[in-house]
Amino acid sequence: MLQARNVVSKLIIGSVLAAAASSVLAQTVIRASSWHPPKHPGVIGGYDPFMNYVKKESNGELDFKFWSGGSLSNAKSTLPTVRNGIADIGVLALTYFPAEFPYAQLVSNMAMFSENPPAIAAAVTELVVLDCKPCRDEFTSKGLVFTSSYSTTPYTLISKTPIESPADLKGKKFRSAGTLWDRWANYVGGTAVNVSSAEMFEALDRGGVDVAVFSPSALKSFSLWDIAKYDVMLGLGTYAAMSLFTMNQSFWRDLTPEQRKILLDGSALGVMGVTFAYMDSDDDVLKQAKQHNVNIVKPGESLVKQRDAFVEEDSKKLQQLAKDQYGIQDAEPIITRYRELLKKWEGIVNEVGPDRNKLAERMQQEIYSKVDPKTYGM
């Protein structure tokens, strides 16, 4: 009888070990890369909650190996890194790649249509995922899959010297994120310099730029308050031409539809997480700025009038710019739809309030529930 029990015990133990081994073998380790620093909103607000959600909802079937701070790829090398499968997921700042992503430049050119970051983040994501096939095709044609955007808070003017009037902008070199901000820099008599956010500190420190055009959060997340003395709160639109969780298409195809659904729903948490982390970071930085000898400056009336005149003039040129610069023959339906989505999501934000989790749930309902994970991105 004892011998029989031993046999049964060994069979049970063997079954448990086999099941455990099978579970380990079934686990997919996703290689994710972000060039954002570890404490950047893109990491603490985006990738961290996204990865936690995916691991939990997949019951550990999906896990992550995560590189941040550009340790695997920097902002401009992320495109080949993800396209070639060195990473499965990565962050793309799409204005760095105007030739590869012309429709993303159109999105970027509409950056001054609103100053409501959560609404912008959701509107851009819905536009691309549901309503703009050419936008999605830009990704699939390169072996990539778009899942989500996000939005910074409104850009401001971070500098070493005071900026009080339009005359102070003339001749300045501006760190620009491209497209719209390049045109604004030219409009005010300055020069646009396209460097990544990760390169802002060095550029401002060494005189490569005179002014960093970025949200106040950069004072802390990129340590600009160690060298800058002024932040002029002239709202210059938000940056939302982002692909936060860009998927390698071969990796995407190897997943089950259920796993793709988890990644899509998790993206909503990341979208709102990054966006609200930017908002939280701005609030935190503005409270601490005085301790770092940074003057937070309300823009003068002449600067505001100049900005408003630029927006009015520039918005009339968007369709022609899209055609001439990016080969988009009929941009009007995309511009119109984006305006509609902005209005829709501004209403949802007003309805829900500043609750990132509830807004993420609304993104899951309004966007990702309408996606077929069996065919999306294929």
Of 110, 104, 106, 103, nearest in space to 92 by CA: 104
Residue 171 lies in a domain: yes
pLDDT at 8 over 60: no
Task: Give how far Cα 256 sits from Cα of 57, 58, 59, 145, 244, Å.
Answer: 14, 11, 14, 15, 21
Strand order of the β-sheet with 295-297 is: 191-194, 173-176, 211-214, 156-159, 230-232, 295-297
- The predicted pLDDT at position 18 comes to 41
Look at residue 315 and tell me if it is in a domain.
no
Residue 143: what pLDDT?
A: 98
Q: Report yes or no: 232 and 163 within 8 Å, Cβ to Cβ.
A: yes
Check residues 41 and 85 and name the one with the higher pLDDT: 85
CA–CA distance, 63 with 51 (Å, rounded to integer): 8
On whether residue 281 sits in a domain, the answer given is: no
Residue 3 included in any domain: no
What pLDDT digit, counting tens, does each position of 283-322 carry?
A: 999 999 999 999 999 999 999 999 999 999 999 999 999 9
| Residue 217's CATH number | 3.40.190.10
Taking residues 89-117, what's their average pLDDT? 95
DSSP state of 297: E
Task: Tell me, yes or no, whether 246 lies in a domain.
Answer: no
In a 13 Å sphere around the CA of 16, the CA atoms on its Cβ side amount to 6
State the DSSP string of 42-77. Answer: IIIIIIHHHHHHHHHHTTTSEEEEEE-TTSS--TTT
Q: What pLDDT digit, counting tens, does each position of 256-290 carry?
A: 999 999 999 999 999 999 999 999 999 999 999 99
Model pLDDT for residues 167-225, shown as the tens digit of each residue: 999 999 999 988 899 999 999 999 999 988 889 999 999 999 999 999 998 999 899 99
If one counts the domains in the chain, the total is 1
Is 299 inside a domain boundary? yes
Residue 318 lies in a domain: no
CA-CA-CA-CA dihedral for 370, 373, 375, 378, to nearest 10? 120
For range 89-105, the mean pLDDT: 96
Average pLDDT, the chain: 93
CA–CA dist 261, 104 (Å, integer): 24
Token output for 230 = 């002024």
Look up the domain containing 229 and give its range: 156-233+291-310
Residues 339-353 pLDDT 10s: 999 999 999 999 999
The answer to whether residue 48 is domain-embedded is no
Whether residue 119 is predicted with pLDDT greater than 90 in this model: the reply is yes
Give the whole-angstrom CA distance, residue 224 versus residue 209: 13
Determine the pLDDT at residue 14.
47
Answer yes or no: is pLDDT of 22 > 60. Answer: no
